[in-house]
Amino acid sequence: LPKEVVAREILLHEEVKEKLRELAPRFSHREVEIITNLEPTPAVLIPPDVLHKVIEGLVRNAVENTPDEAKVEIAVRKKGVGAELLVRDYGTGIAGEAQRRIFEGLFTTRDTLAYSSKRPFDFMAGGKGADLLRMKIFSERYHFRIHVTSTRCRFIPREDQTCPGRISKCPHCSTTEGCHRSVATTFSVYFPPAKIALSSESAATIMLRQGHIPSP
């Protein structure tokens, strides 16, 4: 049976910390440094299972796009009256056209055959973008906002060009600092405080009952 989808008040920084602890063994075979800065924030209103899928999806996406010897930064901070989750990786980056289409679901920035035999969290093991599409759908249903900014690595500007997967093997920048200066991708997710989200949820429920919006 599917899990019950019930929105609850959640402290984002605590939930991210716990989820990272849970995920860590799944990418322990990778040499990717995870740097966290998790500040206390106002409670957010969202079903726990939905939030877990968002956190896991963004972390996995970041690790899979980051070469060994590089880093991923994960932060939670107060923004306005709400809370913001930031996941920044220093991988290959996303070209302009891919950025515009990244939440479309079946769009991928890499060749399917290149990652079909890899396991989750391996470098370049990402899927077809279904996770990001699901996050976008969740954001519309549960009243949070998701946004991405990215700079494509200048040494491999085209999507069909690949990174060797380890900084020390890169012919262009053999140091961590050099790689980090050339590229970065940041996913930001803004959650309104629980009280505001609750008002939006109540309004959506009324509209649903009146037949103005489709059921998820």
3-state secondary structure of 150: strand
Separation of first and last alpha carbons in the chain = 17
The 82-89 sheet, strands edge to edge:
33-38, 71-79, 82-89, 184-191, 145-151
Q: Is 112's pLDDT higher than 70?
A: no
CATH number of 8-209: 3.30.565.10
Per-residue pLDDT, 60: 94
Residue 91: pLDDT band (50, 70, 90) is confident
Distance CA 35, CA 40 (A): 17
Residue with token string 């910390």 = 17
| Per-residue pLDDT tens over the stretch 33-67 | 999 999 999 999 999 999 999 999 999 999 999 99
Residue 120 to residue 97: CA distance in whole angstroms? 25
**Looking at the predicted structure, is the pLDDT value of residue 212 above 60?**
no
How high does pLDDT run on average in the chain?
82
120: which 2 tokens?
């989750």
**What amino acid occupies position 7?**
A
Dihedral sign (CA 129, 135, 139, 145): negative
